[in-house]
Chains A and B, each alone.
Chain A
Amino acid sequence: MPAYVPIALFLFAMIALLFAPLMTWVERKQSALMQDRIGANRADVFGIKAIGLMHPLADVIKMITKEDLVPTGADRWLHTLAPIIATIPAMVSFAVIPYGGSYQGWGAEWSLVVADLDYGVLYIFAVASLATYGTVLAGWASNNNWGMLGGVRVAAQMISYEVAMGVSVVGVFMLYGTLRLTDMGVAQQETFRLLGFIEHLGWVGAGTWWVNLIKIPMWGIVLQPLAFFIFLTALMAENKRAPFDTPEGESEIIAGYFIEYSGMKFGLFYMGEWVEVVVISGLITAMFLGGWSIPYLPDAVLIDFLAQGVGSNMANVFAMLIHVLTFFMKVIFMIFFQQLVRWSVPRFRYDQVMDLGWKILLPLSLANIVVTGLAILIAGEIMG
């Protein structure tokens, strides 16, 4: 593989970062839509308003030009470092999320993922767990009691939900037999016959027509619905946005860990959260929503079909475009869904957040492992 390929892939993955300013727009406009308002529409550049799309631009200019305050008694060095630590993990975790399959053309082969790691999902967990330091240190370094309380809450909340987050997806690993996200994407292109067990048990003869009628794609959300909901909840709690935003909790601790931040340092915390929303959507898409593929249409079939019209090389390129488009459509849906939750559910009380994590999500995800193991065993027995 030539050296420029990973660089190109990396630059493309940086598109995820472009979502961050766009998310400010989505946040404003979607909340406006849900609350029957018009939403931000005043910022204009030479009279171009573009349904409020100029607001992210205005935001960035404002953030960068604002005065940067470090309170007296604060730890100046950690106060500056904290927002950076909080933002970078979200950015680098997009590296292992595949936004397309692998393609061949002109004697070369390429796949649309920056780093195709054997331990892909674990890499995201590991990197995400480092983001905790950013917020905890921000709270500590500010020399502010509210900030401190926010920092302590972040530490407790993120450690609690990391447990449920890691355990909930073990069932998915067991089913697909891999932690590599590209392999999961390939495995999810298969379909299974919903009534296939009738034939396997020998109740009807082989080749009975109605047994083959209902085919369902092997998406994670179909095979592991419980894991999907636990994982999504845990990820949203990790991202500490509403309804899990007790570390910020305006009504109790003003703004929590970033109370003493201004300017772009303040902006970085938000940017980290928004990039993380995109990463969460990408991860959920790759693990539970079939990744880049279109249901009932495996990569090979699509490429073969296109090759009849435009030849093998161009067919791969077109298939790639279709897959990237499909992937980002799913991602945008998940972003929309997260915002829907964010504007629908009020903030939990702190003890409710802890109870949900330890007393509901963790036992459920442990049970999910046992049930999945039993199901795999029984399915293996039936299929022989």
Chain B
Amino acid sequence: MTEQVIFYICSFIVLLAAAGVVLNVRNTVYSALSLVVAMLALAVLFILLHAEFIGVLQILVYAGAIVVLFLFVIMLLNLRGGDMGAESQPILKIVGTLLIVGAGAKLVTLFTGARGAWPEVGREFGTVREVGKILYTDYLLAFEIAGIFLLAGLVGAVVMGKQRID
């Protein structure tokens, strides 16, 4: 019962904040802050699902680091909605709408279609140890590839930053 109440409250906050990210075109800082609120409520949903490690990483990585960087850039460049070209990108709007319709259709089939029983999860499910084990055994290749991508991004940023200075 308590879990359901928390679930509905947090889901409502996630949706509201996510809408706020898009609708706060006038003030980009509020837009970024809405994103933080959405991330935090999402982390609560993860923890409700006993995926505690993922939930904490959600706060640590997304809310605590990535959106801070967003905010940093917004403040540094003093961006307003108009500067970001929010009104002048019809192609992106069309692609975005199509993606949302596609994802929505997939969700509908997922929820209405027939499915088997939910798989059982162990007692340790969601702990740091379990997630680590799965990550470094079953998904090792994907993990390494993601690592190389991140490294490439890092090197790319350094190269671009250096060119600007010279």
8 more CB-based (< 8 A) A-B contacts, given A148-B75, A158-B68, A162-B64: A117-B52, A126-B57, A126-B64, A127-B59, A129-B60, A140-B71, A151-B75, A155-B69
Contact B69 A122 (CB under 8 A): no
Complex CA distance for A159 and B71, rounded to whole angstroms: 12
Per a CB cutoff under 8 Å, which of A117, A156, A162 touches B72?
A: A156
Contact B64 A129 (CB under 8 A): yes
Shortest CB distance A167–B (Å): 13
Q: Is A130 an interface residue (CB 8 A)?
A: yes
CB-defined contacts of A151 to chain B, threshold 8 Å? 75
Shortest CB distance B29–A (Å): 6
Interchain Cβ contacts under 8 Å between A and B, 14 examples: A78-B29, A118-B52, A122-B53, A125-B60, A126-B60, A126-B63, A133-B68, A136-B68, A136-B71, A137-B29, A139-B75, A151-B75, A155-B75, A179-B128
Chain A, residues 97-138, CB within 8 Å of chain B (1/0): the string is 000000000000000000001110011011111101100110
Q: Is B21 an interface residue (CB 8 A)?
A: no
Chain B, residues 126-141, CB within 8 Å of chain A (1/0): the string is 0110000000000000
CB-defined contacts of A119 to chain B, threshold 8 Å? 52-53, 56, 127-128
Chain B, residues 51-67, CB within 8 Å of chain A (1/0): the string is 01100110110011100
Per a CB cutoff under 8 Å, which of B60, B63, B76 touches A122?
A: B60
Q: Is B36 an interface residue (CB 8 A)?
A: yes
Q: Which residues of B contact A (CB under 8 A)?
A: 29, 33, 36, 52-53, 56-57, 59-60, 63-65, 68-69, 71-72, 75-76, 127-128
CB-defined contacts of A78 to chain B, threshold 8 Å? 29
Q: A119-B53, A125-B60, A148-B75 are in contact. Are A159 and B29 (CB under 8 A)?
A: no
Shortest CB distance A36–B (Å): 42
Query: What residue of chain A has the Cβ atom nearest to residue B127's Cβ?
Result: A118
CB-defined contacts of B75 to chain A, threshold 8 Å? 136, 139-140, 148, 151-152, 155
Contact A129 B59 (CB under 8 A): yes
Contact B63 A129 (CB under 8 A): yes
Complex CA distance for A128 and B36, rounded to whole angstroms: 14
Contact A122 B57 (CB under 8 A): yes
Per a CB cutoff under 8 Å, which of A130, A155, A162 touches B71?
A: A155
CB-defined contacts of B64 to chain A, threshold 8 Å? 125-126, 128-130, 132, 162
CB-defined contacts of A117 to chain B, threshold 8 Å? 52
Q: A136-B75, A152-B72, A155-B75 are in contact. Are A162 and B65 (CB under 8 A)?
A: yes
How many inter-chain residue pairs (CB < 8 Å) link A and B? 71
Chain A, residues 145-160, CB within 8 Å of chain B (1/0): the string is 0001001100110110
Contact A122 B65 (CB under 8 A): no
Complex CA distance for A139 and B128, rounded to whole angstroms: 36
Complex CA distance for A151 and B19, rounded to whole angstroms: 27
CB-defined contacts of A136 to chain B, threshold 8 Å? 68, 71-72, 75
Per a CB cutoff under 8 Å, which of A129, A137, A148 touches B65?
A: A129
Chain A, residues 174-190, CB within 8 Å of chain B (1/0): the string is 00000100000000000
Most chain B beta-carbon contacts within 10 A, residue among A118, A139, A151, A152: A118
Complex CA distance for A122 and B57, rounded to whole angstroms: 8
Most chain A beta-carbon contacts within 10 A, residue among B53, B64, B75: B64
Shortest CB distance B44–A (Å): 12
Shortest 10 CB-CB contacts between residues of A and residues of B: A129-B64, A126-B59, A126-B60, A155-B72, A122-B56, A118-B127, A126-B56, A132-B68, A119-B56, A179-B128
CB-defined contacts of A155 to chain B, threshold 8 Å? 68-69, 71-72, 75
Contact A123 B56 (CB under 8 A): yes
Complex CA distance for A128 and B60, rounded to whole angstroms: 9
Complex CA distance for A148 and B64, rounded to whole angstroms: 19
Contact A159 B52 (CB under 8 A): no
CB-defined contacts of A179 to chain B, threshold 8 Å? 128
Per a CB cutoff under 8 Å, which of A130, A139, A140, A148 touches B59?
A: A130
CB-defined contacts of B128 to chain A, threshold 8 Å? 118-119, 122, 179
CB-defined contacts of B56 to chain A, threshold 8 Å? 119, 122-123, 126
CB-defined contacts of B57 to chain A, threshold 8 Å? 122, 126
Shortest CB distance B23–A (Å): 17
CB-defined contacts of B72 to chain A, threshold 8 Å? 136, 152, 155-156, 159
CB-defined contacts of A122 to chain B, threshold 8 Å? 53, 56-57, 60, 128
Shortest CB distance B61–A (Å): 9
CB-defined contacts of A162 to chain B, threshold 8 Å? 64-65
Complex CA distance for A152 and B69, rounded to whole angstroms: 10
Query: What residue of chain A has the Cβ atom nearest to residue B40's Cβ?
Result: A130
CB-defined contacts of B68 to chain A, threshold 8 Å? 129, 132-133, 136, 155, 158-159
Complex CA distance for A231 and B119, rounded to whole angstroms: 41
Complex CA distance for A124 and B126, rounded to whole angstroms: 18
CB-defined contacts of A132 to chain B, threshold 8 Å? 64, 68
Complex CA distance for A122 and B72, rounded to whole angstroms: 24
Complex CA distance for A83 and B142, rounded to whole angstroms: 41
Q: A152-B75, A155-B68, A159-B68 are in contact. Are A130 and B53 (CB under 8 A)?
A: no
